[in-house]
């Protein structure tokens, strides 16, 4: 719904939404549902840096590799072997989220009463760069401001960037191009594309925690029979 968000929101500079949730992950999604459960007419806005609606990240290290097919990176869905039914990574379809202008006459003076009883809007591909807790507004990366009554910061954790390769060394600089993180849907799609595009693939996973261990096992389970592809866990 918000793929053309630059065009939709290009004309306004300021609007107000009672509840603003910064971060497009699981925490924001369930926080929005909880707010609506306690305040059925609440208008909630989720601000997300990603181009996807909130989804279950836990499925990226196991289910998409175990049960996914060639279309999974695009559809973000797979068939559950237990039920035989399709399961989607996103919690809701894009149609679940109304447009931000449906919430605010400041954006669209002709806004209908369809969402007069509230809802959960989603602003994709956008980043909050400043929050003024005293004046109750958040500024987006394009300079737009949104006022709020209550704001939740749910941006999640960030992987530690281990800059162990000397960029001055041309060989190491080239190697750095083959190193990526694994935190979101884009990383999953990138890893899937790399494995499929290379006849001989050697993939090393750094980090023996839950995510690294499960991802290593999942990749080995899917590609372990292919003698030209090797997976390793460090």
- Residue 3's pLDDT is 40
pLDDT digits (tens, 9 = 90+) for 25-42: 999 999 999 999 999 999
Instruction: List where CATH 3.50.50.60 sits in the chain.
Output: 5-55+91-153
Q: Which of 52-66, 84-98, 128-142, 200-214 has the lowest mean pLDDT?
A: 200-214
Residue 227 pLDDT > 70? no
Strands of 43-47's sheet in order across: 119-123, 43-47, 19-22, 150-153
Nearest to 22 by CA among 182, 189, 188, 141: 141
Q: Please provide the DSSP assignment of 112-157 as one string.
A: -STTTT-EEEEE-S--EEEEETTTTEEEETTS-EEE-SEEEE----
Provide the pLDDT for residue 164: 64
Output the pLDDT for position 92.
97
pLDDT recorded at residue 71: 96
Whole-number pLDDT of residue 186: 96
In terms of average pLDDT, the best of 14-18, 35-39, 164-168, 217-221 is 35-39
**For the residues 199-206, what does the mean pLDDT come to?**
78
pTM, two decimals, is 0.84
Task: Please tell me the predicted confidence (pLDDT) of residue 115.
Answer: 65
Q: Report, as an integer, the average pLDDT of 64-92.
A: 96
Q: Indicate whether 70 pLDDT > 50.
A: yes
C-alpha to C-alpha distance for 226 and 198, rounded to whole angstroms: 12
pLDDT at 74: 96
Distance (Å, whole) CA 119 – CA 97: 7
More confident position, 108 or 211: 211
Q: Please, what is the Cα angle at 31 between 124 and 96, to 5 degrees?
A: 50
More confident residue, 225 or 39: 39
When pLDDT is cut at 50, 70 and 90, the band that residue 7 belongs to is very low
Q: Would you say residue 56 has pLDDT above 70? A: yes
Q: Quote the tokens at residue 106.
A: 């400041």
- Per-residue confidence (pLDDT) for residue 1, from 0 to 100: 36
Rounded to whole angstroms, the Cα distance separating 21 from 28 reads 6
* pLDDT tens-digit map of 120-178: 999 999 999 999 999 999 999 999 999 999 999 999 887 777 666 656 667 777 777 77
Superfamily in which the 5-55+91-153 domain is placed by CATH? FAD/NAD(P)-binding domain (3.50.50.60)
Residue 226 burial (CB count, 10 A)? 12
């Amino acid at each position: 719904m918000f793929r053309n968000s630059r065009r939709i929101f290009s004309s306004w500079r300021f609007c107000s939404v009672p509840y603003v949730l910064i971060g497009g992950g699981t925490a924001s999604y369930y926080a929005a549902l909880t707010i609506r459960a306690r305040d059925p007419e609440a208008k909630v806005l989720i601000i997300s840096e990603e181009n996807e609606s909130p989804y279950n990240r836990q499925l990226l290290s196991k289910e998409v590799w175990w049960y996914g097919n060639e279309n999974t990176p695009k559809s973000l869905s797979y068939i559950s072997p237990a039920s035989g039914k399709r399961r989607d990574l996103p919690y809701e379809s894009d149609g679940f989220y109304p447009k931000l202008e449906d919430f605010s006459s400041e954006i669209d003076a002709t806004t209908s009463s369809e969402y007069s009883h509230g809802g959960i809007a989603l602003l994709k591909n956008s980043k909050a760069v400043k929050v003024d807790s005293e004046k109750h507004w958040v500024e987006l990366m394009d300079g737009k401001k949104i006022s709020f009554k209550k704001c939740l910061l749910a941006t999640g954790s960030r992987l530690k960037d281990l800059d162990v390769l000397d960029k001055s060394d041309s060989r190491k600089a080239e190697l750095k191009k083959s190193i990526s993180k694994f935190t979101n849907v884009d990383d999953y799609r990138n890893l899937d594309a790399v494995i499929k595009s290379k006849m001989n693939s050697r993939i090393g996973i750094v980090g023996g925690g839950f995510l690294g261990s499960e991802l290593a096992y999942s990749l080995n389970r899917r590609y372990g029979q292919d003698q030209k592809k090797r997976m390793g866990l460090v």
